[in-house]
Amino acid sequence: MRRAVVFAFVWLQDGFVRLFTHSVNTHKILLGPGIEPLRWQLGRWRAWRTFERAARRVPAYRAFLAERGVAPRLRGAALAAEFAALPEMDKDSYIKRWSIPERCVGGRLPRRGVVVDESSGSSGVPTSWVRGRDERLATRQLLQVGFSRTATTLRKQPFVLNAFSLGAWATGMNVTTSLTEVTMMKSIGPDRDKIVATMREFGTDYTYIILSYPPFLKALFEDDRIDWAQYDIVAAFGGEGISESMRAHILRYATTAFGSYGASDLEINIAIETEFTVALRQALVADPELAARLTRQREYGVLPMVFQFNPYDYLIETNAEGELVVTIVRKENINPRIRYNIHDRGHVLRMRDVVPALRSRGHTQVLAERFLDLPLLFHYGRSDLSVDYNGAVVAPDALRDVIAGDPVLVRAVENHRLISFEDATGDRQLHIALQLSDGAGMLSAAEAGPRIVAELRRMNGDFHNAIRTAPAGTLPTLAFYPHRAGPFVGDGAKLKNEYVWQLAAGEEGKWGLDLDWAAER
């Protein structure tokens, strides 16, 4: 009986949403204040309904559940616990094992209205993601709601410059298709020359909303061919996080700088930074006690990005390993993802948990910021031993395969490490460190480096594009180190090798990194 009542209620509110929220203004009703518990509960019910629909109608998901002995229905009692017991899926356990049609509702792709975009991770094999008409409409509405919140504060007509990578890449494609109908836009891609030329041509009568990856934005604003003080700029970024010192640098040129969280595997713009989350993050920097109460910074060694998301659209959980598990609760998605593990570290807090901590620590300036009563997503970066570089995800396993495929390197190199750090000027850097075996002769980075980086670029299309568009002074560096020297001085002390380091600003000097040789474009 409860199932029937819940499903009838969810069906009715879905009908209300479809009937009345095809415009941005009416869609904002679902973001109104004071209904956070309702949004939360509706989201869980919608996730329940979407799970049971996928279990019935998606061949791959039926097989996935059967392999694990999971019933295709939930009882409805203690729903949160029942849902959390469902098996997680990820790219290896689900996406790579079944074809795209098998992962679709009804076991086939619609004949019309499907857009295909792609991601290319560390394996170098592009993964295609299919998005139907209704889900693209939902994504478009969410992007437009966020855009409208920004646009209402502007003094001049907005002009969006989309500087994300163009082509079949998910972010650039979806931004263009989602915002074209509500604003003036030029999709340029990460090309500084064209952005400078466009701004010179159109002049200073617009507020330019520039969307791109953080390193590109920083390099763009340091371009002295344009007098940035004469222009109104809003910066929006994705693909990777930034430090608050980097944000402060960007804010020398832009009036605001906000980021968003998403993934090709799921959707772009799942969660966004707001005035409130930025103020909260800055409070976490200033107040270690507050950070200890709200975050896992001490555990992960990194300050999290802080976003807000709508639980009516996304159910976000954290598993025992501290990884985010995301369910897109809308039934319209033709390729459902139920409890999808993107292998990012993070956790969720609701406003009712955060506000008391801010009050007790005296952070009244944070509470004074305009905010939505949406839950908060604390994001600490990748959990799968990868690093971000200029919007690309670079995995140490790819470097391992390059070494293993080279007859000289496979004999000479004992260990490898990807080292990410922020230099003194605020630029994010990637250093490829290779430890030589005991007794091996020194190799030349200038000779071996080009072929190592070239092979990594061949294997990983995102990394290739990231190098091609990297700002000056931020190309990856590579060096060989004698056995147990430099960043490998402590190797052997732990049971497992470390393949990724995320260094705090200024720590590169502590480890004696050799940064002389840099990749070429």
pLDDT in tens, 234-280: 999 988 888 887 888 889 999 999 999 988 889 888 999 999 999 99
Asked if pLDDT for residue 16 goes beyond 60, the answer is no
> How high is the pLDDT of residue 338?
97
**Residue 9 clears pLDDT 70, i.e. is over it:** no
pLDDT tens for 505-518 read: 778 888 889 998 99
- Does residue 120 register a pLDDT over 80? no
Longest dimension (CA), the chain: 74
Higher pLDDT, 44 or 3: 44
State the average pLDDT over residues 390-401: 84
Q: Which residue has the higher pLDDT, 400 or 45?
A: 45
Q: For residue 265, what are its two tokens? A: 């595997």
Exposed (0-12), middle (13-18) or buried (19+): which is 361, by Cβ within 10 Å? middle
Tracing tokens 């190592």 back to the chain, one arrives at 452
- For the ranges 6-15, 116-125, 315-324, 403-412, the lowest mean pLDDT is seen at 6-15
Q: Which two tokens stand for residue 283?
A: 């409070």
Q: One-letter amino acid identity for 94? A: Y
The pLDDT of residue 28 is 55
**Residue 365 contacts residue 324 (beta carbons within 8 Å):** no
pLDDT value, residue 511: 85
User: How large is the average pLDDT for residues 415-430?
Assistant: 89
Class of domain 389-511: alpha beta
In the prediction, which pLDDT does 231 show?
97
Please report the pLDDT score of residue 19 as a whole number: 43
- Model confidence at 17, in pLDDT bands (50, 70, 90)? very low
User: What does the alpha-carbon distance between residue 468 and residue 377 come to, in Å, rounded to a whole number?
Assistant: 32
- Residue 190: is its pLDDT beyond 60? yes
How far is CA 314 from each of CA 310, 414, 464, 470, 517, rounded to the nearest angstrom? Answer: 6, 43, 32, 33, 44
User: What is the average pLDDT across 93-122?
Assistant: 89
Q: Which of 49-53, 114-118, 157-161 has the lowest mean pLDDT?
A: 114-118
Confidence of residue 106 (pLDDT cuts 50, 70, 90): very high
Is residue 33 very low, low, confident or very high in pLDDT (cuts 50, 70, 90)?
low
DSSP 112: S
Q: For residue 98, is pLDDT > 70?
A: yes
The pLDDT assigned to 494 comes to 57
Domain ranges of the chain: 2-129, 130-269, 389-511
Residue type at 200?
A: R
Residues 338 and 251 sit within 8 Å (Cβ to Cβ): no
Range 132-150 average pLDDT: 79
For the residues 450-479, what does the mean pLDDT come to?
A: 91
Task: Check residue 121 and give its pLDDT.
Answer: 54
Class of domain 130-269: alpha beta
Question: Which has the minimum average pLDDT: 174-183, 331-340, 508-517?
Answer: 174-183
Predicted confidence at residue 400, as pLDDT, reads 84
130-269 and 389-511 in the same fold? no
> Mean per-residue pLDDT for 392-417?
86
The region of weakest confidence among 28-32, 137-141, 389-393 is 28-32
Mean pLDDT of 100-110: 96
When pLDDT is cut at 50, 70 and 90, the band that residue 173 belongs to is: confident
User: pLDDT at position 30, please?
Assistant: 60
**3-class SS letters over 377-402:** EEEEEECCCCEEECCEEECHHHHHHH
The mean pLDDT of the chain is: 86
With a cut of 90, say whether residue 481 has pLDDT above it: yes
Q: Of 512, 448, 447, nearest to 485 (Cα)?
A: 512
Q: What pLDDT, on the 0 to 100 scale, is given for residue 89?
A: 97
CA 74 from chain centre, in angstroms, equals: 31
Q: What is the pLDDT of residue 134?
A: 85
pTM: 0.79
Checking if the pLDDT of 75 tops 80, the result is: no
